[in-house]
Amino acid sequence: MILTYLLAAFIFMPIAELAVLLKVHEFVGLGKTLALVIFTGIAGAVMARAEGMRVVMAIHRDLTAGRMPAPRLMDGVMILAAGLLLVTPGLITDAAGFLLLVPAVRAAIRAWLRRKLEAKLREGSVTTWRW
């Protein structure tokens, strides 16, 4: 199931990104489109680094206080994903990356993932993978 989604993403995302970039090119021209893609990549990487450092400090505070930093670790994974999306050329991936840098969006995703996991635990349908 996950492989199906990944395959679809690798096939359709580049096509969607190209379509969006061509539309933006029609409105603002090639130079401004390229500048926009480069700017969002650089700005996003800087923002992801800053947000990542905040999360690392929060993890450190949690560990020092003897608390499990699970929510912060999930934030760290989402910030890593945001960074990868932001350095990938394209405006759709940049928008998704910027959204993942917003703490409220990450909190909503964490809550959704928790509900999904709890439902799977209740159903007894949790699958584990071993490497």
Statement: the pTM of the whole predicted model exceeds 0.85: no
What is the C-alpha separation between 38 and 88, in angstroms, rounded? Answer: 10
Domain spans in the chain, listed from the N-terminal domain onward: 21-121
Give the pLDDT score at 131.
Answer: 66
Span 43-74, pLDDT tens digits: 988 999 999 999 999 999 999 999 888 889 99
How far apart CA 19 and CA 12 sit, in angstroms, is: 11
Query: Taking a C-beta distance cutoff of 8 angstroms, is the pair 66, 78 a contact?
Result: no
> Six-digit token pair at 82?
């945001």
